[in-house]
Amino acid sequence: MRLLIIGSLNGRITAAAQIALARGAKVSQVDDVDSALANLRAGQGADLVMIDVDFDIARFVGSLRSERIHVPVVACGIGSDAAAAVRAIKAGAKEYIPLPPDAELIAAVLAAVTEESRTIVFRDPSMGAVLKLADQVAASDASILVCGESGTGKELLARYVHRKSRRANAPMVSVNCAAIPENLLESELFGHEKGAFTGAVARRIGKFEEANGGTLLLDEISEMDPRLQAKLLRAVQEREIDRVGGTAPIKVDIRVLATSNRDLEAEVRAGRFREDLYFRLNVVTLTLPPLRERPADIDALVIHFVEKYSAANGIAVRPVSAAAAEKLRGHAWRGNVRELENVLHRAVLLAKGDAIVPDAIVFSGATRDDAPAADAVAPGAGPRAMTALRGAQVGRTVADVERDLILDTLNHCLGNRTHAANILGISIRTMRNKLKLYSEEGVTVPLPREAERAVI
């Protein structure tokens, strides 16, 4: 984990740096906000920024946002100054740490803010086979394609491969191709020169250069526009990139990993994904089975998540009753491990007695396995019960029903656009266009909420 400290190391912030180093973080330090921005633009990268509360945090966070530099910010100040803490949080800091720091507090913030989890929890033989193959190929520099449904833990598996590789001590840089608008993704990947386009206020190093010597993860690569795929192919094939507005090619030394929740061969046949890029990335494929196909993992994950969220919320660990465990095993888990994690987090909070019972297991959203089917209406109920299942939709337009379905699914996914689009079977671009239309119509659209990284 890379920590960037903004402020003088002559003061008590030195202690925070020493604690972070002892916890395995790689620490760098700059004296002011402008130096920090120059550091990040130059591709030196950070997983977390710790800034002295006396600096202009609002300007720093605003610059990060306008230049699309995604890194969490934590403020530090002497003592428990409530007013300073409030100002820092309002300015955009995620946390406030009083100085001198407590070692356990620093460790907790490093883990919580960076959402760093190295645990792969599994018991099913099918997952064991995937990890065995990952171990075999990790030491090579071969490109790897990690496939699987949304929520199965593709990014976590990619990070596992990086940690097992010869590049483990070098950075691993991730780009979510689905989350970045296509007109900005080229600059995000390859960087740009000052003045290359409106808003390019300074030279910015792209993710390829930032990952130099290490690993670049192209997350959900199937969402990338075909026009950009041609430039990506050259970069992957030649290990050479061109910054937007640049005049000379730049060599990079990287290992490329990519993930996709779509069938890329089908995308190639449909003309939405370049065949040559597919074969370049697909030297080795690691396919994560959906949770419903690895039932032995459910019990292990239940224990893991119950312990995790009990500790996070300061609640005594309750056992899961046999009836609740059976309810969990019988669910279809279309959201896979991510859905299971959310359900168990909710169950830990809702449980009232000495155990987690079925009443605490609440499935969000109307998935097919939860919704009553037409042929599941109680015997003898007659046509009136059948009509009741459909009556609420009578008289409504298709557009209204579609809007409610999209927004309900988005709420179920905690605002995660990619996850919701996958459940609905639409592309992320279609999802964005629909949500933009709803916002323009004055409809409240759920904002993305920070969700913890899925754990296998």
Nearest to 364 by CA among 333, 396, 321: 333
For 55-109, write each residue's pLDDT tens digit: 999 999 988 888 878 888 888 887 667 788 888 888 888 888 887 777 777 777 7
Helix (H, G, I), strand (E, B) or coil at 352: coil
| CA–CA distance, 16 with 6 (Å, rounded to integer) | 12
Distances (CA, A) of 11 to 8, 24, 52, 93, 252: 6, 22, 10, 21, 38
Range 292-360 has CATH code 1.10.8.60: yes
Q: Please provide residue 422's backbone torsions phi and psi, each rounded to the nearest 5 degrees.
A: -65, -45
Distances (CA, A) of 439 to 396, 424, 428, 447: 20, 19, 16, 11
Residue type, 95: E
- Decide if pLDDT at 31 tops 60: yes
Q: What is the pLDDT confidence band of residue 114, given thresholds at 50, 70 and 90?
A: low
Distances (CA, A) of 395 to 391, 400, 438: 9, 10, 20
CA dihedral 90, 94, 98, 104 (to 10 degrees): 160
Question: Can you read off the two tokens belonging to residue 351?
Answer: 């449980």
- Is 194 in contact with 186 (CB distance < 8 Å)? no
Of 107-116, 156-165, 286-295, the poorest mean pLDDT is in 107-116
Q: What is the mean pLDDT of residues 248-273?
A: 93
| CA–CA distance, 15 with 103 (Å, rounded to integer) | 9
CATH architecture of 2-114: 3-Layer(aba) Sandwich (3.40)
Its CATH class, for the domain covering 379-440, is mainly alpha
- Decide if pLDDT at 370 tops 60: no
- Is 17 in contact with 7 (CB distance < 8 Å)? no
| CA–CA distance, 243 with 206 (Å, rounded to integer) | 8
- pLDDT for position 274: 95
> Where are the strands (E) in 42-118, listed by range?
48-52, 73-78, 95-99
Q: What is the pLDDT confidence band of residue 22, given thresholds at 50, 70 and 90?
A: confident
**Spacing of C-alpha 321 from chain mean position:** 31
- Decide if pLDDT at 324 tops 60: yes
| CA–CA distance, 261 with 212 (Å, rounded to integer) | 26
For 265-303, write each residue's pLDDT tens digit: 999 999 999 999 999 999 999 999 999 999 999 999 999
Residue type, 280: R
- Show the 3-state SS of 216-242: EEEECHHHCCHHHHHHHHHHHHHCEEC
Task: State which H helix or E strand residue 61 sits in.
Answer: helix 57-66
- Which residues have CB under 8 Å from 272's CB, separation 6+? 222, 226
**What is the number of H-type helices and E-type strands within the chain?**
19, 12
- Which residues have CB under 8 Å from 31's CB, separation 6+? 6, 7, 8
| CA–CA distance, 64 with 15 (Å, rounded to integer) | 26
- pLDDT for position 285: 96
Domain edges within the chain: 2-114, 125-289, 292-360, 379-440
| CA–CA distance, 448 with 328 (Å, rounded to integer) | 26
- Which residues have CB under 8 Å from 384's CB, separation 6+? none
- Decide if pLDDT at 414 tops 60: yes
* Same fold? 125-289, 292-360: no
Residue type, 329: R
CA torsion through residues 455, 296, 144, 416, sign: negative
Range 125-289 has CATH code 3.55.40.20: no
| CA–CA distance, 438 with 408 (Å, rounded to integer) | 13
| CA–CA distance, 294 with 322 (Å, rounded to integer) | 19
| CA–CA distance, 348 with 19 (Å, rounded to integer) | 31
